[in-house]
Amino acid sequence: MPRAKTLSATEKTDIVENKTETGFDKYKYDEEIAVPSTDGRATKRVKLDLEVDATAKDLGVNPYAKWIHLAHAVDSWRIFPRIFILTYIVLLHKSVLWYMDLANPTLEQSGLISIVVGAGAAWFGLYTGSKR
């Protein structure tokens, strides 16, 4: 089946800005395109007319504006990262006190405390390295 011929830039018409009777700005795009026929032997030219309304629509007051404002406020307060850091501090404090109370700590217990203390650097890096 032959491929449709693409038109050159000189064969295409430009976008023309029109004012309609309603006062909306509309962009009209006219172009002739080559479409293969159903029998597969020839192509035919079809003129395509398309009007697109490019004006902004006033949809009224956003009913979710207060929720969006609250979400931005909660995000700027950074509640959840602070809760996570506070939880880590409590976990670190309790686990270090537990470790220091051990008479003869094993290798596994030392590894656990090493991981808990090392995770603090990752938590703090993530907390301070964020955008805000």
d(CA 60, CA 117): 53
pLDDT greater than 60 at residue 122: yes
At 127, the amino acid letter reads Y
Instruction: Please name which of 57, 45, 56, 49 lies closest in space to residue 16, comparing C-alpha atoms.
Output: 49
* Cβ atoms of residues 1 and 40 within 8 Å: yes
What's the whole-model pTM score?
Answer: 0.47
Mean pLDDT of 41-55: 71
DSSP element (H, E) containing 128: helix 107-128
Q: Which H or E run includes 90?
A: helix 79-101
pLDDT in tens, 50-87: 777 777 788 888 899 999 999 999 888 888 888 988 99
The closest alpha carbon to 5, from 49, 31, 35, belongs to: 35
